Amino acid sequence: MFQDYALANLTAIDETSNFYVLRGVDLHNVKGLLSLCAIRELTKGEVLIRPGEISSRMYLLLEGKLRVFLDNDEQEPIAILKPGESVGELSLIDKKPRSSLVVADEASKLLEVDSQMFWSLVQSSHEFAINLFSILAERLRGNNAAIVEINRLQQEYKRYATIDGLTGLYNRRWLDEILERQIERSKRDKIPLTLIMLDVDFFKKFNDTYGHQAGDIVLLELGKGLKNFFRPTDLIARYGGEEFTAILPNTSEEEAQAAAERVRKAVSQMKIEAMDGTKLPQITISLGIARMKDSDSMESLLDAADKALYRAKKAGRNCSSF
């Protein structure tokens, strides 16, 4: 039996905190992805996976117990899976037919992660990728070639894990890499570069009043809005918490000021709803603008934008400042 999007209430994600594959993962950053997964319930004796079938799903065991057989259930199980463990990862990665039979040993509840969601989790959390490949390495440690390949993929995903799981924007890891390159390009080509740092006004008070779930929705919707409110050539990232950055290549101070005001007004007019359809209060943002100087490094440019943001807050919020 399926309960589609049964985790739509983000608070239910706490159930996944003990999963081996999520050890060290900041659930706050991936709960938006996990909340879109369905829950599958199995009765005792029901088959979850059959040998030879093609499937693009992995399962995280929330409750119950699963037996894993190499061929059929007339033999002894090769593994017993308990809450916190996962199954189905390898076939999802290599797209080859399943090689084992997995049966519910008792009534069980699983979180079903489809292919798109799986790769989104890999991209949004390098800790998830590291855990995943560690699990696979343990299962395949008798095959040295497989372990070498798993380690290679682990390092590759660790390098390219650049997506923020909650908002879908680029994350701080990506920002550090791209901003360094943009600064070098600006100095080399003698073109202006402007950085905007912004955050949600009174966000802590909003969270305290309406709850962290509502706060997550605000950040999610703001992330979507920023993609549309800035130009396609601008580079947007979630800096951390309720702070976001926008890199504006080849942009003068006047153009950056106009962009900041355009974005500020657009955000103040956003309509945001809770998951039950209840309208949430409109939000405002403060923005700090810093144009790169020839002597600037990445750290000094970020610091200048952060200080400009502080001045905007001191000026009363819902405004921008250089």
Catalytic residue positions?
A: 242
Beta-bridge mates of residue 64: none
| DSSP secondary structure letter of residue 202 | T
CB of 30 within 8 A of CB of 132? no
- Which residue type is seen at 152? R
Radius of gyration of the chain (CA): 23
Residue 278 sits at φ, ψ, to 5 deg, of -70, 135
Helices (H) then strands (E): counts for the chain:
10, 16
Task: Say how far apart CA 218 and CA 236 lie, in whole Å.
Answer: 17
Residue 94 sits at φ, ψ, to 5 deg, of -95, -5
- Which residue type is seen at 148? V
Beta-strand relationship, 320-321 and 285-291: parallel
Residue 145 sits at φ, ψ, to 5 deg, of -65, -40
